[in-house]
Every structure is written in structure tokens, then in C-alpha cells.
Homo-oligomer: A and B are copies of this chain.
């Protein structure tokens, strides 16, 4: 890598990042996000570290936690989100049909308001992997909630009345929505799901006040569609501007039109650089033979200016993805000491089993490490080229059943967001420890029908009873400090606290508090249902609470969620967790814990 090239790149990004000095909603949000008593952003902070400075609950007293109040979500499907706490109010969204609730924490016996969107009844039939939702966002007196049928609602936070609604997609084409919105300045930024239906992924910004669409940026396709500046948008792998037609030229003919790269993960934002970060999903059809080329910018981390939508840089993790290694996992924004220099970085634990440490100013790849020991599809990520060194024996192709690929399509980590503790400088990550056999086949596109093109079978990496691990990980050194084995995939995003605790949930329904220095269990409670939601914490009237949405589902529990029992249904995930129904049931419940 030529240092000069990177200096140029930095200058370009810095110029693009100039922010107008207007008082936007996000300034209040940024301030509120600094207050550990509240939890005003889905990930707790724009940086997405999911760490709290609260210390009332600590390693000494965590054993005295107890549920203090509970509330059914009124739904049975998977709960992937978390509540927000804004001032005296708690807000959360259920799985489909996406009820939104407000609770005044002085009167938890009552629901302050409930919003029940009228849904396009077709949407549940095209949602790939359960009817989940990752939660609401808040800004400027509004709650922003997305419905499965792609309607984006702005609700008056006081009353729940609809302020505006924007239609962001069409379920008839397989488009659905499950992500949590990111609000930056005066914009509501949302993504789209449907990577298994040939949906071409995009990000869209709506005006926070009016719901008017401001910009839409696709991840694959012509430069104007993807809002890449050929001369300025950098390729993180090379440090060079991406050049003209950077996406479309990596696809055969018009296959990019069904190119995937959907955007159903978590988004983070750096106010100093005025860039937001997200990942794109798998390329359209899981059959790689049908789409020669790198299939850019699927499975890519992308940094965009939230005001204009223009991309500052892009870094593709899995060129020509042949394993359904969506790149949608979150990018956690921290400072890292790399080769003696402290720089603003982004850490991303990818489905493909590698952790990526990037310079978030320009997408430069600094480090890449396997974070699960089983990973075998690639030997390493070449820091010089930025590309994986793929094991040819694990490359999938049409009509060949390729065996024992690790990780499985569900990833060494799925969407559940990691936490980062600025003190320990470690990431705490819910991971999967699973492998697969993968057989691609030819598939024809038909709008609103699955466009998958592969059957697969997932299994525990060691063919035993460990399908997940919670790990404490250093993304610079690649060292796993400690890990805790779990019977099932860890599909809940951990929460770390200044008082030395980690909270997370398990697929079989345990809510746990563990010691972040060694993973030792300090408290556990058997929740009504398995946990794929993310604990958060807040203070109310001098008392610290930890809340988590329980309710098993998602791809990890698709067999349970959809009542499937056969091996190849549920995109190959059913066989992996057939025993899950021995441990837990469907059912959504908000659980709130505190010290007695």
C-alpha cells in the first residue's frame, strides 16, 4: 500500500465530510446518547459500542438481580431489537405485526400508547428468515418505526399518532424491512431486506420532519444508482478511487439488477467525519456460477455521507460470495492503536468468520483475523490486496455439493451487535460455531418468489453440542481473551458495563450476567422464550435496570418460528437447531431486571 495514496484518500474524505453548522436533531441525540441514564439510540450510541457507564449493578451484586416487571409484546415471532429509553419513556417494537409500545416508567402498569400498523398481508410470505424487527429509533419528538411491509412510520413520541408514513419498497417484489433506522441530522436512514428474493439492496434517507424521500443509494448497479463518485469514492481494498462503473462491471450482463446487497443490519455514524457505516448483504442468488465476477458492492462495508448519500469509501469482504456471507453486520467505531498510532477505526465481525479492522476515514484494511477457530473457506485476508485467500476446495459451484465449509451461511456471527468496552479495549461478541454443506443450483428469477439457488445443511462445527460462543476479542491482535461455549448460536448482542458486567441472552432462553474479565456466570434467569434481542440498561429514579426483549426466532430458530421440521427448509437452518424446541417456545416478552 502506497502511503501517499492513503494521504490523498484522507484529504478527499475530509473535504467530503464538511458539515453545515445547523442545529440538527442529532445534536440533541448525540448529547442524550452521552447520558448513561438513557438509551436513546438502538445501539446505545452512534459508535455502536453497546457499552454503559452505569455501575449500580456490578460483579458483586449481580447475583441479586431479579425480574421486576414484564410485558408481553403480543406477538410470537422473533424479537431482534431492544427498547429505547428517552427521558421517562420506554419505547419498543415487537416482531410482526410490528406493534410499537410506549411505557411511562413511572406507570409501568400501563401502556402509554400502542401503535399497530396496518400491514400488507403479503409481506410475511416473502420475509426470508422469520418476521423479526430490530427496534425503533427516536429523534426530535418522534419515534421512527419500520413495518415488515416496508412502510416507515414517524410517530409522535407523546401520543403515538402517525406524523408521516413513507413507503420504502414493495412486498410483491420480495422487499421487506426489519432493521432499526438510523437518524442523523434531519434524515431518517433506512435499509431494505429481501436478499433471497433478488432484491437489489439500497439505503434511503427520508426527511425527519416530512417523510419526503431525500436520496436513495443502491449498493449494486450503475454509478448514479449507487451514488459512488468514480473519482472520489475509495476502494478500501486498494486505496484507490473506485473508478467508473465499479459495480456493474463486476456482474455479467444485467445480473446486477437482481444483485442483492440488501441492507438489513445495523448502522453506525461518526459525527466528526460525518459518515455513516453499514454493510451490504449477499449477492443475488446463492448460486455463484450464475454470477461470475466480484459482484460489487455486495458483501461490502460502505461509508456514506448522510446528507447527500454519496459514498466516501467501500470495502468488499467477500468478493464473489459463494457462501451467503452477507456483510450486513455492524461496524463498531472506536479508536485503535495500530502499529503505535492511535487512529479512528471500525471493527466489523463478518459472517465469513473474519474480524475486520479498518481505518474508518478511508476504508483501509488494517487487520483481519479469524474470530472462530473453525473458519476454513479462506486461509486469511491478504492485507496487501484486501482480498481473502480462498481455499479452492471450499468454493461452491452449481450442482456440486461442497462439504464441510466453515462457517455456515448463518455465519460465524450473524447480525446480533457486538459490544466494546473502552477500558478493556475488547469486543464482546456473540458468535456461531457452525459449518455447512452447500450445493448451488440454477434458479430463474420471478418477482416475489425465492431467488436462492442453493440448498444447504448446517451443523455444529465440532459435530458436538456447541453451536455458539461468547468471545472477548481484541480486533487489533486477533486474540480471543476468553470464550464461553453455548449449546446454540449466540444470537443476542452483549451489553458491557463499566462495572465489569456483560449481559446477553441465549437461544434456549437464559438471560445471563457474566464477569467481563473471564466470562464467569454471575446470574442467570430462565426467560419465557429464547433470546435473540439485545439487553440495554438505564437508570430510573436512581435505580439501574437492565431490559431485554425475549422471544426466540430469526434464522437461528427458523424451524421453531415457522413450524418447520425438515432439513432443507428454512434455508438449511432447521437441522441445526432441531433440539431447540426441547428447551424453549415462541413468545415475546419484555423482561426488566433490577436489584432487589
Give A residues with C-beta under 8 Å from B.
66-67, 69-76, 99, 108-111, 114, 508-510, 525-529, 581-590, 596
Contacts and interface: CB of A to CB of B under 8 A. Distances in A.
21 contacts: A66-B66, A66-B67, A67-B67, A67-B70, A69-B525, A69-B526, A70-B528, A72-B528, A72-B586, A73-B585, A74-B586, A76-B76, A108-B526, A109-B509, A109-B510, A109-B526, A111-B581, A111-B582, A111-B583, A528-B589, A528-B590
Among A108, A114, A588, max chain B CB count under 10 A is at A588
A70 B527 contact: yes
Contacts of A584: 71-72, 111
Among A509, A527, A589, max chain B CB count under 10 A is at A589
B114 A74 contact: no
Contact of A583 (B70, B73, B109, B596): B109
Nearest to A510: B109
Contacts of A581: 111, 114
Given A66-B67, A596-B66, A596-B596, A585 B72 contact: yes
Nearest to A74: B585
Contacts of A73: 585, 587
Given A509-B109, A583-B110, A71 B526 contact: yes
Nearest to A581: B114
How many identical subunits does the complex contain? 2
Given A71-B526, A111-B583, 7 more contacts: A71-B584, A72-B528, A72-B529, A74-B76, A76-B76, A108-B526, A109-B509
Nearest to A109: B526
Contacts of A528: 70-72, 528, 589-590
A83 to B, nearest CB: 14
A143 B594 CA distance: 38
A14 to B, nearest CB: 50
B585 A587 contact: no
A508 B109 contact: yes
A67 B67 CA distance: 7
Nearest to A67: B67
A589 B584 CA distance: 12
A48 to B, nearest CB: 29
A116 to B, nearest CB: 9
A503 to B, nearest CB: 17
Contacts of A66: 66-67, 596
Given A67-B67, A528-B528, A596-B66, A587 B74 contact: yes
Listed from nearest, the 4 A-B pairs whose CB atoms lie closest are: A72-B587, A74-B585, A72-B528, A72-B585
A465 to B, nearest CB: 13
Among A69, A526, A583, max chain B CB count under 10 A is at A526
Contacts of A583: 109-111
B526 A70 contact: yes
A529 B588 CA distance: 11
A526 B589 CA distance: 12
Contacts of A589: 70, 72, 528, 587, 589
Contact of A588 (B69, B71, B108, B587): B587
Nearest to A487: B109
Contacts of A110: 582-583
A71 B585 contact: yes
A557 to B, nearest CB: 12
A174 to B, nearest CB: 27
A195 to B, nearest CB: 29
A114 B582 CA distance: 8
Contacts of A582: 110-111
A70 B526 CA distance: 6
A111 to B, nearest CB: 6
A528 B586 CA distance: 14
Nearest to A101: B585
A485 to B, nearest CB: 15
A61 to B, nearest CB: 13
Nearest to A551: B72
A583 B508 CA distance: 29
A110 B583 CA distance: 4
Nearest to A560: B74
Contacts of A587: 72-75, 587-589
Contacts of A71: 526, 528, 584-585
A523 to B, nearest CB: 12
A223 B508 CA distance: 56
A316 to B, nearest CB: 41
A435 B111 CA distance: 27
Contacts of A74: 76, 585-587
